[in-house]
Structure 1
Amino acid sequence: MSYHTKTVSRRELFVILYPYRTLPQHEKSITLKDQKKNGKEQPWKEKKIASLDYAELLHILEFNKASRVQQCGTVLDFNVDHEGYLTLAHAWFCKSRLCQICNWRRAMKHSGQTKKIVAEVIRRKPKARWLFLTLTVKNVYDGEELNQNLSEMARGFRKMVQYKKVAKNMIGFMRASEVTVNPKDHSYNQHLHVLLCVESTYFKNQDNYIKQNEWTQFWQKAMKLDYTPVVNVQAIKPKNGEKSDIASAVDETAKYPVKSTDYMTDDRDRNLQVVKDLEEGLRQKRLISYGGLLKEVHKELHMDEVDDEEADLIHTDEDEAEEVAYSIVAIWNWQKKKYLIH
């Protein structure tokens, strides 16, 4: 990879980023536009505004990290290739669990990592089959219960995959936790999304195949529940003639653990309570984990843990610039509420 840098004028940069517009003579700075080769524009502005709304709630709740969240992603340093495409090179992220900038970056990185892991597992185990499993328990009503339930679900899942009928079919898995807020009774629903890789013999006979009601019984037993939980399992079937299409399942497991719409509503008092509960509920929780062959491949590929506080959220699975033409710096403008390239 070769690197060549040069200085470009404000007008030259504007032509690269906005080829069909004319730069007004009075304009002193350029609004950031980070558009990828697939035509999708990265939502830096929207994520930053959501992060600031979250920081304001933290400030009212007197969380010490409020100012840290407020400064998240304030300065973005990009490398630019000869076609004008941007790749993030340097930035500072707060890594708070509910920060929308950080969750967006985590989701991209998690999705990219999992797709690479799955591709390698398919290469090694071409006849393996894939399942998408969703495990739930009853809703809870405060942060303490949420924290406890998430811990119990993680333990219950570890116990369930050790059951004889599950273990003998299992090649590996990727598990992710998600929490949603019920808008009617304001309760919290916790569930696990699990991408399972199983032996091809799983579907061959009743000794190996696990029916929907069996998965439910296994989960109920592992969690020691006195009620029948909601469990859903789906086989990931071939699509368009391909051996297996698991992109949608990967995206489902890689999405944000909590939706911003769950704590960014028109009800400020309710928003404050939800943030307080979620901060308590998600505290010190590992929301993403791998097992079996998927865990081995994750380690062999030297991937960092997306869920860790030390995770690199700068380098996701975005296309890296093959040849850097120059660099630009975008800074958040607090008055105009957008990123400007100066």
Structure 2
Amino acid sequence: MVKSHAKNKIYRILPQILADYSNARWVSLTLLANDCSSDELLRTTLDLMNESLRRLVKLKIFPGIGWIKFVEVTQRCGGNIRPCFHILMIVKASYFGHGYLSQKKWAEVWQRSLRVDYSPTVSVKRLNPEQDLLIGLISESAKYCSNEAVILQLSQRVPNVKTVTIGGILRNYSDLLTPINITPASIFPSDSCAGGIPS
């Protein structure tokens, strides 16, 4: 189960956002980078991913106008560590028309933002706010981590990393997240994981 303090904070934010942006269109975006073999490389990779996300949101093609980003880290069967960003994002109305980005296109722009020579894993889907958004916050990552994955306490492995951040037009809601530090283990419990992450 999700720890109560994290759940209470999150559920306090999302209903207010849904009320304030009742006509908004939402997308769930998952961005990954290559696995890391140590905590030191994990820190470097998370820094790279954050810098790359800043580049991504500045692109003219980027459709998001407001977002909530969650950092998830899983330890894979071989011992490597996989960092992942789960992003709940309000998009421009034009996104589902001429501004639409396919999953292949998302992978291309994320690769360009990462400045890497491999094709990173990306997953994107449209969310129905009334049905999906509140439960999606907890369940979206479940299908990306394997049954044997162990959710790491990111705050212990890589101190001073923000596990939840808010950007764009939703930035004003950031104060509702402090001073509590929400850890990935409290949001994405390992015993709920099912399915696998594409390699």
Please indicate the TM-score interval, normalised by the length of the shorter structure.
0.7 to 0.9
- 1:160 pairs with 2:68: no
The residue that corresponds to 1:187 in the other structure is: 80
Per-residue CA deviations over 1:5-36 (Å, capped at 9, x if unaligned) read xxxxxxxxxxxxxxxxxxxxxxxxxxxxxxxx
> How much has 1:297 moved relative to structure 2?
2.7
**Unaligned ranges ≥5, structure 1:** 1-42, 44-103, 265-273, 309-342
TM norm structure 2:
0.76
TM norm structure 1:
0.46
The residue that corresponds to 1:113 in the other structure is: 9
Conserved? CA contact 2:14–2:134, under 8 Å: no
> How much has 1:294 moved relative to structure 2?
2.2
> How much has 1:211 moved relative to structure 2?
1.6
> How much has 1:231 moved relative to structure 2?
0.2
The residue that corresponds to 2:133 in the other structure is: 246
Partner SS, residue 225 of structure 1: coil
> How much has 1:254 moved relative to structure 2?
9.2
Give, as a single letter, the amino acid of the residue that structure 2 aligns with 1:284: N
Give, as a single letter, the amino acid of the residue that structure 1 aligns with 2:65: I
Q: Tell me which of 83, 86, 105 is aligned to 1:214.
A: 105
- 1:199 pairs with 2:95: no
Structure with higher helix content? 2
Aligned length: 181
Per-residue CA deviations over 1:229-272 (Å, capped at 9, x if unaligned) read 1100011136xxxx4431222114799xx9xx7569xxxxxxxx
- 1:306 pairs with 2:193: no
> How much has 1:161 moved relative to structure 2?
1.3
The residue that corresponds to 1:130 in the other structure is: 26
Q: Tell me which of 163, 169, 183 is aligned to 1:287.
A: 163
> How much has 1:280 moved relative to structure 2?
7.4
2: CA distance, partners of 1:120 / 1:279: 27
1: CA distance, partners of 2:149 / 2:120: 23
Partner SS, residue 61 of structure 2: helix
Q: Tell me which of 135, 140, 145 is aligned to 2:36.
A: 140
Conserved? CA contact 2:86–2:141, under 8 Å: no
> How much has 1:118 moved relative to structure 2?
2.5
- For the pair shown, the structure with the greater C-alpha radius of gyration is 1
CA-based RMSD: 3.2
The residue that corresponds to 1:96 in the other structure is: none
Conserved? CA contact 1:176–1:194, under 8 Å: yes
> How much has 1:279 moved relative to structure 2?
7.5
Aligned pairs for 1:1-342 within 5 A: 105=3, 108-166=4-62, 169-183=63-77, 185-203=78-96, 205-206=97-98, 208-237=99-128, 243-252=130-139, 281-299=157-175, 302-307=176-181
2: CA distance, partners of 1:162 / 1:252: 28
Same amino acid, percent of matched pairs: 22
Conserved? CA contact 1:176–1:253, under 8 Å: no
Partner SS, residue 161 of structure 1: helix
Give, as a single letter, the amino acid of the residue that structure 1 aligns with 2:112: K
**Structure 1 residues 303 and 181: alpha-carbon distance in aligned structure 2, compared to 1, 3 A threshold:** closer
1: CA distance, partners of 2:23 / 2:65: 11
> How much has 1:182 moved relative to structure 2?
1.3
